[in-house]
């Protein structure tokens, strides 16, 4: 298999038994280097015969170790913003240096949106808000406004180009990433939500890591492989951005770590770049729900692998910054 045993163990250990999932890919070949579901269990116990009490303990564990999280799909939150930006850049609707004046914590297009408003976490971000600031401050309002300028059809077409709604071409069956339950965007509010990884959007962790290959390969994403005898560097998607657009996004993702809110990943000897994300999981009628935290990153000077990690229920644990800290532990090793 293409799995790197050392990286697999480092990644699993860094998650410290918390519920979540991780995937790492080689951006130049598409090879899958790590694929983690946490917490885990010892599968040999099933082969040798497991007692009823042991099975009951596993089944009743609130962290659900028997659930294969790397096969599933989750709302990606702001970890999808580089993809949204790439679609806008390729469409010509997003101009990186063009700033927007955004005031306040919430925003809505007009009264037709009713009670729905887009909320941003960092209203202190200084105007004007251009693409770089929007990435550094993870500004939901900026991305919502860019999505409205882009339009529903363009965003759906762009996400489809990144593989949403398509079976992931992988040897192990993965849950398909979706734009929405119906594969369409039916309202301006849903368009806004989708632009920053909310609404009905769901993404598989391996697919999410693979999508970031586009920024390192000037628009190309490879089919993720699992077995050593599979052909390497099989093109899955191409032409999603050009070299200049990819460079712009790489610069912003480096600034997310240096100037943004992933300071735990701002390592002195490893120049990481990437994007955090916090996905709100609100049940009907709830004001505040659980949050899953994401961080997708790579060494900007020597990108041997892209690593995507998601940890569940980080709402009381510093959100996605906590995930960035967990990921940084992996890059501290001389790998």
Q: What is the 3-state secondary structure (H, E, C) of the chain?
A: CCCCHHHHHHHHHHCCCCCEEEEEECCCCCEEEEEEEECCCCCHHHHHCCCHHHHHHHHHCCCCCCCCHHHCEECCHHHHHHHHHHHHHHHCCCCCCCCECCCCCEECCCHHHCCCCEECCCCCCCCCECHHHHHHCCCHHHHHHHHHHHCHHHHHHHHHHCCCCCCCCCCCCCCCCECCCCCCCCCHHHHHHHHCCCCCCEEEHHHHHHHCHHHHCCCCEECCECCCCCCCCCEEECCCCCHHHHHHHHHHHHHHHHHCCCHHHCCCCCCEEEEEEEEEECCCCCCCCEEEEEEEEEECCCCCCEEEEEECCCCCCCHHHHHHHHHHHHHCCCC
Of the residues 78, 138, 177, 328, only one is catalytic, namely 78
112 a catalytic residue: no
Catalytic residues: 78
């Amino acid at each position: 298999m293409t799995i790197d045993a050392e990286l697999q163990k480092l990644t699993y250990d860094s998650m410290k038994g918390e519920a979540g999932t991780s995937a790492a890919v080689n951006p130049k070949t598409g090879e899958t280097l790590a694929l983690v579901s946490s917490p885990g269990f010892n599968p040999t116990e099933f082969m040798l015969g497991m007692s009823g009490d042991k099975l009951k303990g596993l089944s009743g564990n609130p962290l659900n170790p028997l659930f294969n999280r790397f096969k599933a799909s989750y709302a990606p939150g702001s970890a999808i913003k580089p993809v949204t930006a790439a679609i806008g850049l390729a469409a010509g609707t997003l101009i990186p240096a063009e700033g927007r004046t955004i005031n306040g914590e919430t925003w809505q297009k007009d009264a037709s949106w009713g009670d729905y408003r887009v909320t941003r976490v960092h209203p202190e971000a200084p105007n004007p808000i251009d693409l770089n600031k929007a990435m550094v401050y993870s500004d939901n309002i900026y991305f919502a406004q860019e999505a409205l300028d882009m339009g529903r059809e363009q965003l759906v077409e762009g996400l489809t180009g990144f593989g949403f709604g398509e079976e992931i071409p992988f040897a192990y069956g993965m849950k398909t990433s979706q734009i929405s339950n119906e594969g369409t965007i039916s309202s301006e509010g849903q368009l806004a939500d989708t632009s920053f990884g909310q609404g009905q959007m769901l993404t598989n962790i391996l697919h999410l890591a693979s999508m970031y290959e586009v920024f390192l390969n000037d628009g190309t994403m490879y089919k993720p492989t699992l077995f050593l005898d599979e052909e390497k560097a099989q093109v899955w998607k191409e032409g999603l951005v050009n070299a200049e657009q990819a460079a712009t996004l790489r610069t912003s993702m480096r600034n997310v770590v240096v100037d943004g809110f992933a300071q735990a990943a701002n390592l002195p000897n490893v120049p990481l770049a990437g994007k955090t994300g916090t996905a709100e999981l609100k049940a009907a009628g709830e004001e505040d729900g659980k949050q899953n935290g994401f961080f997708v990153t790579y060494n900007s000077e020597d990108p041997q692998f892209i690593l995507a990690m998601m940890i569940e229920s980080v709402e009381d644990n510093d959100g996605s910054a906590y995930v960035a800290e967990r990921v940084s532990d992996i890059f501290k090793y001389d790998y």
